[in-house]
Structure 1
Amino acid sequence: MTISKKPIRLAVVGGNRGFSVQNALTVLPDLIELTAICDWNEQLLQKWKTQYPEIATYTDYNKLLEAPDVDAVLLATPLTVHAQQAIQALKAGKHVLSEVIAAHTLEDAWELVETVEKTKLTYMLAENYCYMRPNMMIKHMIQQDVFGPITFVEGAYIHDCRSLTHYPDGSLTWRGELNRDYNAMNYPTHSLGPLAQWLGINRTDELEYMSTYSTRNGSVANHFREHFGDSHPGANPEYWKQGDCTVTTIRTKKGIVISLRLDWTSGRPHNMTHYGLQGHRGAYLSARTEDENPLIWLADRSPGSSPDGSAQWEPLWNYAGQYDHPLWQRWLKEAEEAGHGGGDFFVIDEFARAIHEYRRPAIDVYDAVAWSSVFPLSAQSIAGNGATVQFPNFTKNRK
């Protein structure tokens, strides 16, 4: 395998979220190094400059893309601009690591695929939830057929983000604009990404069709009324298109059903992760809180018997010695110090290695657009009263 020897020179676009990469940059200096930061906020740029005096800073994305000492960009910007910023960077000769989601329209998704295919540069989606230790361990177990044939998986993103929908003056952030302008499963990849990797989507199976339902809204309007008064337009539920809770059901070509739930506006404790799996010979439930263990049941291995009702769950970690993913075995200490359950470390590591090794990354452009297309497809389904919609074949020209 041919491997490039010089570190990838990375520019972070969107300095606030970009701080999450620092651990990986410190641990992986031979693979990747920070060269530049781009953000409109001068105070934030100065914060980076204080910590990394040698880096260049930009407030103009176009100027950044002209820089000859930048090989790749990490897009940590609002999701509605990810696709076009990625396309622009690829055309400028830069590799792209994009925060989620990759694209919020089918037109952007197709253009992104075509640009990656034309430029032959590395594009990776930075879906950090795929790299959380339990998610990677379950993936490793599925690859060894521990659960038998899979029939059903579920994932949910349940997180009260109402305080992130606005600035202190009541103007809307990008999250607030999403809730105002769209009624859709607008943030699907934290839920779907790990499940798609478990099931080998775009490898051994494909997403075939889906339908989506959304509840009535009200939680965001209540929040704005409490914080900004009745005179704020956000105090009126009709101002918001997004329902409080959105549920999508997907069927794959192999007949596996995927259930997704999105709720970032209802008041409740934060579910950092919410995943489940059912196979012919076992089942899995993720932990709901930091104090809980992820749970597993394996036929003929776990205590009790399922048919007579005596079956008992046991901690997933009982099987870590046998089934912990090799990446976590190698990088346990470094990953545990990174954000999002270690995911922020692994996405940087995988992105850099894919470039150095001249190979497709683990979460490539075809994965990125398939998972992200749930956004526009769900909007179509909701508008059609839960109508079934087909997934496009984004891989038709893949080589």
Structure 2
Amino acid sequence: MNLKSNANKINRRDFFKTAGIGATALAIKPDMLFSRNMKRNRKVRIGIIGGRFGLGFQFQNHPDCIVEAVSDLIPERRNDLIRTYRCSKSYESLEKLVKDPKVDAVFIATGAPDHARHVIASLKAGKHVLCAVPAAMTIDECHEILETVKKTGLKYMMAETSVWRQRMISVKQFYKEDAFGNFIGFAAQYNHPGLETLYFENGEKTWRHGLPPMLYPTHCTSFVVGLTRERLTEVSCIGWGDNDPILQDNIYNNPFWNESAHFKTSNGLPFSVEVNWKGALRPSERGEWHGDKMSFIMSHGPMSSTVLVKAGAKRIKDDGGFDVAENSVEEYNTPNWWSTDMLPEPLRHDSGHEGSHTFITHEFIDSIVTDRTPEVDIYQALAMTAPGIVAHASAMKGGELLKIPSFDK
């Protein structure tokens, strides 16, 4: 099959060759490829709920989707949604939108503490659901969402951007090739200093005011759960705070700006995760995958490079005179996966969060029209979310080692 990208007209085999990914990576699972030849049902009519994060997606351009309606509590944001999605129908609330019989599915881009309530209401109204991260804020909410998904039989997908970052797609391909060999450990960081600007709106505290870092863990946990599908089984977490007034008075009773967790995976591997809201830190959402054959280390931002470290057989002397393996380190140039036939042509362009938004748009719509399970389904979503909830509980107990519940079938 000679499938070409819009931008540079290279075929898939040439694209993989240029990207430095071998032939076995061509065996992408079928649902990651876009094909107009596949039997497809009628177009999905979607409702977009939430006029901030909800503005950054491409449903109006997907060939199998129609934006039927939009909603936000605030009129200005509602108007932004109308303009972005070229949709004339709007509702003042989610509760009104989900009563619309023409709406098949919804994208919930509301505040994190409302996700569980909004997801459950939408599912009970008969709508497929795509929801922003995290899936839930408590373990009880995790159970409630899971039971509702199971009872309704409708599709649920979490819009985790890290699963579809361009470098993460490369990691998936290397993993399919067995380029890493045996994994020996993982690390991830989400540094987002400066979020205090979103803590207040019109003089009122927002849901972000005092949010515990590990209640927003999925940008990190997805780097492992979204790759190997293994589970995080236990955790010890340490928090840091400085007695700032925000940390002394918030609805979460959270005393921490930053939290650092050490997880154990179901394969017995270590996984270090940091979520940091404050400090002299480089803003980043990054991961490291360490193997006995190769490691993939994401850059820390514009002043560093993503690198591959490959195990060497030779030994050399270090500057202390000791033998050390001569491992090679090479810069990795990430392909623009969004320019390939992984997406329908109207979506083959860059988008938010390192090109992930068009992939999320397509994954959700395609899972409905082809009646398949989305990549980040309810089980994956909870496996990415629940570990952070338990990690914060550990931090509140001074780093006590805690078990993480499983929500799998």
8 A Cα contact 1:213 1:385, kept in partner: yes
Question: How far 1:171 sits from its partner (Å)?
Answer: 2.7
What is the match of residue 387 of structure 2? 374
Which segment is superposed worse, 373-382 or 337-346?
A: 373-382
**How far did 1:261 drift?**
0.3
Residue aligning to 1:214? 239
TM-score, scaled relative to structure 1: 0.84
Contact 1:335 1:343 in 2 (8 A): no
Query: Deviation string for 1:229-288 (max 9, x for gaps)?
Result: xxxx54xx53352312201111112111111100023343422x2211211111121111
Which of these residues, 46, 63, 69, is aligned with residue 10 of structure 1? 46
AA of the residue aligned to 1:74: F
- SS for the counterpart of 1:211 is strand
333, 341, 358: which is aligned to 1:330? 341
Partner of 2:34: none
Number of the residue aligned with 2:310: 298
- Greater CA deviation, 372-381 or 346-355? 372-381
Residues 137 and 325, structure 1, Cα contact 8 Å, conserved in 2: no
Distance 1:270 1:246 in 2: 15
Contact 1:14 1:75 in 2 (8 A): yes
**What SS does structure 2 have at the residue aligned with 1:174?**
coil
What percentage of aligned pairs have identical amino acids? 24
Give the TM-score of the pair, scaled to structure 2.
0.82
* Aligned counterpart, 1:268: 281
Give the deviation of 1:58 after TM superposition: 0.8
Shift of 1:41: 1.0
Structure 1 or 2: larger helix share?
Answer: 1
Higher mean C-alpha displacement, 41-50 vs 66-75: 41-50
In 2, Cα distance between equivalents of 1:305 and 1:98: 53
**Is the alpha carbon distance of 1:325 and 1:255 closer, same or farther for their aligned partners in structure 2, counting shifts above 3 Å?**
farther
Instruction: Give the unaligned 5+ runs of structure 1.
Output: 222-232
Where in structure 2 are the equivalents of 1:88-127 lying within 5 Å? 88-127=121-160
**Counterpart mapping for 1:123-202 below 5 A:** 123-167=156-200, 169-178=202-211, 183=212, 185-201=214-230
Kindly state the Cα deviation for residue 142 of structure 1 after the two structures are TM-superposed.
1.4
1:169-216 per-residue CA deviation (whole Å, 9 max, x = no partner) reads 5432211152xxxx5612100011122122222xxxx32211211113
Shift of 1:102: 0.2
1:95 CA drift (Å): 0.3
Look up the equivalent residue of 2:388 and give its one-letter code: F
Amino acid at match of 1:158: N
> Which residue of the partner structure matches residue 249 of structure 2?
239
Q: Secondary structure at the match of 1:77?
A: coil
CA distances 1:294-337 after superposition (whole Å, capped 9, x unpaired) = 101122599999963543411122xx6xxx69776425894542
Bigger mean CA deviation after superposition, 149-158 or 368-377: 368-377
> Using the alignment, how far apart are the partners of 1:336 and 1:88 within structure 2?
33
Are 1:316 and 2:332 matched, yes or no? yes
Q: Which residue of 2 aligns with 1:354?
A: 367
Q: Residues of 1 paired with 2:390 and 2:169: CA distance?
A: 28
Cα-to-partner distance string for 1:4-34 (whole Å, 9 max, x where unaligned): 4211111111012111113x532x2x22221
Answer yes or no: is the 8 Å Cα contact 1:147–1:281 preserved in 2: yes
1:61 & 1:125 partners in 2: Cα distance? 18
Choose which of 286, 297, 300 in structure 1 pairs with 2:298.
Answer: 286
Matched, 1:62 2:98: no
Q: How far 1:166 sits from its partner (Å)? A: 2.5
Q: C-alpha separation between the residues in 2 aligned to 1:362 and 1:344?
A: 14
Distance in 2 between residues matched to 1:213 and 1:336, nearest whole Å? 40
Q: Equivalents in 2 of 1:256, 1:158: separation in Å?
A: 23
**Paired residue type of 1:197:** G
Whether the 8 Å contact between 1:304 and 1:311 is mirrored in structure 2 is no
> Does residue 38 in structure 1 map to residue 49 in structure 2?
no
Write out per-residue CA displacement over residues 123-170 of structure 1, whole angstroms, 9 at most, x where no aligned residue. Answer: 000001111111111121112211111010111110113333423554
Q: Report how far residue 107 of structure 1 moved.
A: 0.7
Q: What is the distance in 2 between the residues matched to 1:52 and 1:117?
A: 31
Q: How much does 1:371 deviate? A: 1.1
Residue identity in the other structure for 1:344: H
User: For structure 1, which segment, 11-20 or 93-102, has the greater mean C-alpha deviation from structure 2 after superposition?
Assistant: 11-20
Q: Contact (CA 8 Å) 1:305, 1:311: kept in 2 or not? A: no
Question: In the alignment, residue 134 of structure 1 is paired with which amino acid?
Answer: R
Out of 256, 269, 289, the residue aligned to residue 256 of structure 1 is 269
Query: Are the structure 2 counterparts of residues 176 and 311 from structure 1 closer, same or farther at C-alpha, using a change threshold of 3 Å?
Result: same
Where structure 2 has 5 or more consecutive residues not aligned to the other structure, the ranges are 1-29, 31-37
Q: Partners of 2:118 and 2:313 in 1: how far apart?
A: 50
Which residue identity lines up with residue 193 of structure 1 in the other structure? Answer: S
Distance 1:269 1:251 in 2: 26
Which SS does the other structure have where 1:259 is aligned? strand
The separation in 2 between residues aligned to 1:157 and 1:118, in whole angstroms, is 34
